[in-house]
Structure 1
Amino acid sequence: MITIGLALTAVVAAQSPSPLDLARFADNAAKAALAKYSDRGVKPDQIGITLAVLDRKGNSFQSGSYRGAEAMYPASVVKMFFLAYAGHLLEKKKLRMTPELERAVHDMIVDSVNDATGLVLETVTGTTGGPELSPKELARWMDKRQAVNRWFASLGYPTLNACQKTWNEGPYGRERQGYGPHFELRNSLSPNVCVRLMSDIALDKIVSPGQCAWMRGYLSRAIPADSKETNEQSKLFSGKVLPSGTKLWSKAGWTDTVRHDVAYIQLPDGREFVYAIFTKDHSNEAGLIPFIASAMLKELGVKPVE
């Protein structure tokens, strides 16, 4: 009986969900969250979920989503895009790593420090903050700030906006000018585009394998089920519900209006998934993202940590 059970487990683990399954899993997780949090006023258009399964042998991924193409303000999730562009410049030898830049990259991803992010974005785009600029000077400055967007567009990524710093208080001077009169040029990402980037990092596709490994080193998180030394981007987000033995790489983001998590997980049975869970207007609902992640794990046949 034990041998048969193990064989059946291996067969189940080897089977990959189809895109239709993944879309259904994301939809079911959203419906479960909307039902559980109905008394908190969570609405369908305040959630976005994309779930992908990695095919390492085929060096590809398939995904399905619930409102996955809908863009939101990404908060600190955008830092993953700055990291990837830095990796590209390092690979092409257009950027020289220094101890100070390495410190800033570490703090930007590991601890999600906004001041560190400012240095990284200035370095990779050749721009600096400062006093207001004339219209002509501002146009040149903003063109430089589009470097990250242009690179992702050249790779065939869907429309995204990753050109602004992240803030503790807010932009001033030319940084404020760069947002447009009504903040219409704020950073903007969808769950779909975040899942693509994390999948490309996991599969060594976005840049060279060496640079992808460098990025994964910063994105790696211990999970509460296996360690007491956990980063808040794990213990306060979906890492909270991952079962023992699961490996996690992630980037979370939160402000007073949004709360997001983008994660790449390797389950104990060897299966690999990437998901992005975006929520808005309920950033004080700390349990919402872990609940959605837990619901998706159940759809995948995995028992989450309750």
Structure 2
Amino acid sequence: MAFYRPEPEMQQHLVAVIDRLAADDRPGLHDQIAVTWVRYDATSPANGSGSGAAWADQKLLYPASVVKLLYAVAAEHWLQRDLIPDSEELRRALLDMLADSSNDATGLIVDLLTGTTSGPALRSPAWEQWQQQRRIVNNWFHGFGWPELERINCCQKTWGDGPYGRERMFYGENNSNRNALCTAAVARILEAVMTDGILSPPACQRLRARLARSLSRSARQADPENQVDGFLGEGLPEGSQLWSKAGWMSRARHDAAWWCSDGNPPCLLVVFSEGSERAGDEQLLPLMASQLARFGVD
């Protein structure tokens, strides 16, 4: 059961867009992409009030830096419960993790959330305890009872060069324990953040402030890693307001975006694309955002 009302016309439009993008020299796209798309009728919608469409939205994929959205949500909950101490350094790390997608900041957040640290291999029973602690964030999300979150895995740090020592061991053989999310899970979490549906309103407001993106050309030119160019934000109508979290690595290009324009109700779009060709495709996500944003307008 989706957290939105399935809309047949939106579904037809989404499939047609994917078909066109695949036909434009993107063979295999249908198997390389996952999408959750939701539109709302109210300018300040409630949780679960949207209409939507999806493509492979339950498919678990490596989320790259999109997982940082979930770690940020968990950190705000931990703060609410006084499970971790608040500090300027924590606030700095949370901002850098979302606004700049810092892997170093993410490492600190994961350590704080789970009470673990990186390092050389551990012996039993310390190794078993370390693994159990690392699954705390997973256990919290699984406890929501939301079907979209039942199979997700968010227990690993994010890396530039890759994990070493106990971190590499924790990935398992053939990376079987790496982070894994589906677009439905990310969409439901992002919707909850944007509608005060998961934490206190002040906590959600702090998260939204860190997710806000400028679509100004001058601001984007000043920040080559702006999480707009090459992602969904690039395809949005001029003057749109955008909140998003992108993920990109050698075999993935993802984005999760919430936007509104011209005073209209907001839209939510999460797109995961996998494979080296899609990772290098800087036009796919902007084109998808542009063509979906025009639904009901053209």
Output the TM-score relative to the length of structure 2: 0.90
Matched, 1:219 2:211: yes
- 2:29 aligns with 43
Identical columns (%) = 33
Matched, 1:97 2:97: no
Deviation of 1:57 (Å): 4.9
- 2:250 is matched by which residue type in structure 1? D
Partner SS, residue 249 of structure 1: strand
Deviation of 1:36 (Å): 1.4
Partner SS, residue 9 of structure 2: helix
Matched, 1:278 2:272: yes
1:228 corresponds, among 213, 218, 225, to 218
Partner SS, residue 36 of structure 2: strand
| Equivalenced residues, count | 283
Deviation of 1:120 (Å): 0.7
Q: Which moved more, 1:193-202 or 1:41-50?
A: 41-50
- 2:54 aligns with 65
Deviation of 1:58 (Å): 4.3
State how far apart, in whole Å, the 2-side matches of 1:263 and 1:300 are: 19
- 2:162 is matched by which residue type in structure 1? G
- 2:22 is matched by which residue type in structure 1? L
Flag the 1:17–1:136 CA change in 2: closer, same or farther, 3 A.
closer
- 1:24 aligns with 12
Matched, 1:112 2:95: no
- 1:10 aligns with none
- 2:163 aligns with 171
Deviation of 1:135 (Å): 4.3
Could you tell me whether the CA contact under 8 Å between 2:138 and 2:154 is conserved in 1?
yes
Deviation of 1:23 (Å): 2.5
State how far apart, in whole Å, the 2-side matches of 1:261 and 1:154 are: 25
State how far apart, in whole Å, the 2-side matches of 1:24 and 1:269 are: 26
State how far apart, in whole Å, the 2-side matches of 1:293 and 1:91 are: 35
Deviation of 1:293 (Å): 1.1
- 1:288 is matched by which residue type in structure 2? L
State how far apart, in whole Å, the 2-side matches of 1:33 and 1:135 are: 51
Q: Which moved more, 1:155-164 or 1:228-237?
A: 228-237
Flag the 1:300–1:42 CA change in 2: closer, same or farther, 3 A.
farther
- 2:71 aligns with 82
Q: Which moved more, 1:181-190 or 1:46-55?
A: 46-55
Q: Which moved more, 1:74-83 or 1:62-71?
A: 62-71
- 1:156 aligns with 145
Stretches (4+) displaced over 4 A = none
- 1:266 aligns with 260
Deviation of 1:90 (Å): 1.2
Partner SS, residue 227 of structure 2: helix
- 1:238 aligns with 232
Flag the 1:22–1:127 CA change in 2: closer, same or farther, 3 A.
farther
Could you tell me whether the CA contact under 8 Å between 1:34 and 1:43 is conserved in 2?
yes
Could you tell me whether the CA contact under 8 Å between 1:49 and 1:67 is conserved in 2?
yes
Q: Which moved more, 1:56-65 or 1:81-90?
A: 56-65
List runs of 5+ in structure 2 lacking aligned partners: none
RMSD between superposed Cα atoms in Å: 1.8
CA offset digits 1:48-103 (Å, max 9, x no partner): 11101245454423432011111110000000000000011111222222111111
Deviation of 1:238 (Å): 1.4
State how far apart, in whole Å, the 2-side matches of 1:152 and 1:300 are: 35
List runs of 5+ in structure 1 lacking aligned partners: 1-15
- 2:285 aligns with 289
CA offset digits 1:200-240 (Å, max 9, x no partner): 0011011111100000000000114xx52135201231111
Q: Which moved more, 1:234-243 or 1:177-186?
A: 234-243
Flag the 1:150–1:214 CA change in 2: closer, same or farther, 3 A.
same
Deviation of 1:271 (Å): 1.3
CA offset digits 1:220-273 (Å, max 9, x no partner): 00114xx52135201231111211221100000000000001001112142111
Output the TM-score relative to the length of structure 1: 0.87
